[in-house]
């Protein structure tokens, strides 16, 4: 099956290109050797206990959608070795960078998925996640493309189905229209509540936050990030 046939309209709605420049030898080799080890196979039903997916004993489960260069995901996985992390990233070059990192330093509490995050969300059992991070997602800034933003009623329904009561949904962006969009959608959803009590709450990075090159560039260019936190009711 070709990649174009494999991709669905839903997949194309949330992210653009799958590849950038050709991979160099080391990232390419790491992708070939490590992705089969870390990739979650959705062709079989999810295990009743998702902790079985990991090569290390874990007590909690978190999901990061669109991990990009992987700085935050790796930081959190190393910071919380007793938590199992699932990272989703369809962009091949970013996944290759992650696989090169874990080839150099294995991460037994990490698994990844390299396609549409909605496929993974639909595969997960109910109330299994302790948290979801959606950090700097593609903002699709043109109004005619807003329907392609990942935050939507249908995807918030997916989040709510997969998250435990009390689990946290964290969203960060430097695009004010997407921040407003996310606030409107999450506050309108019956299963989520916004935890901010003052302006400082959404201007202050999360605890232990590792700033990324993308974020530093946004700040230099005058786009201050917002950090939103919602609780699954």
Q: Which residues are catalytic?
A: 138
What are 96's two structure tokens? 């290759």
- The three-state secondary structure class of 8 is coil
Helices 92-104 and 71-79, interaxial angle, to 10°? 30
What are 193's two structure tokens? 């509540």
- 16: closest CA among 139, 154, 182, 173? 139
In whole angstroms, what separates CA 176 from the centre of its chain?
Answer: 20
CB 206 within 8 A of CB 170: yes
In this structure, the chain runs to a length of 233
- 3-state DSSP helix/strand/coil percent for the chain, to nearest 5? 40, 20, 40
């Amino acid at each position: 099956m070709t990649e174009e046939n494999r991709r669905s309209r839903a997949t194309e709605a949330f992210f653009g290109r799958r590849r950038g420049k050709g991979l160099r030898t080391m990232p390419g080799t790491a992708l070939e050797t490590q992705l089969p080890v870390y990739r979650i196979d959705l062709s079989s039903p999810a295990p009743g206990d998702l902790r079985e997916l990991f090569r290390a004993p874990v007590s909690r489960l978190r999901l990061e959608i669109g991990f990009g260069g992987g700085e935050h995901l790796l930081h959190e996985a190393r910071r919380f070795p007793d938590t199992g992390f699932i990272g989703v990233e369809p962009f091949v070059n970013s996944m290759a960078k992650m696989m090169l990192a874990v080839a150099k330093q294995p991460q037994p509490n990490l698994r990844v998925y390299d396609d549409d995050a909605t496929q993974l969300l639909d595969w997960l059992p109910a109330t299994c996640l302790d948290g979801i991070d959606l950090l700097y997602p593609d903002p699709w800034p043109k109004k005619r493309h807003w329907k392609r933003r990942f935050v939507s009623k249908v995807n918030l329904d997916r989040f709510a189905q997969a998250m435990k009561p009390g689990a946290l949904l964290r969203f960060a962006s430097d695009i004010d229209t997407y921040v407003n969009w996310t606030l409107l959608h999450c506050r309108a959803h019956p299963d989520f509540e916004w935890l901010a009590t003052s302006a400082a709450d959404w201007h202050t990075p999360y605890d232990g936050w590792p700033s990324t090159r993308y974020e530093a560039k946004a700040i230099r260019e005058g786009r201050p990030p917002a950090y939103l936190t919602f609780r699954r009711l």
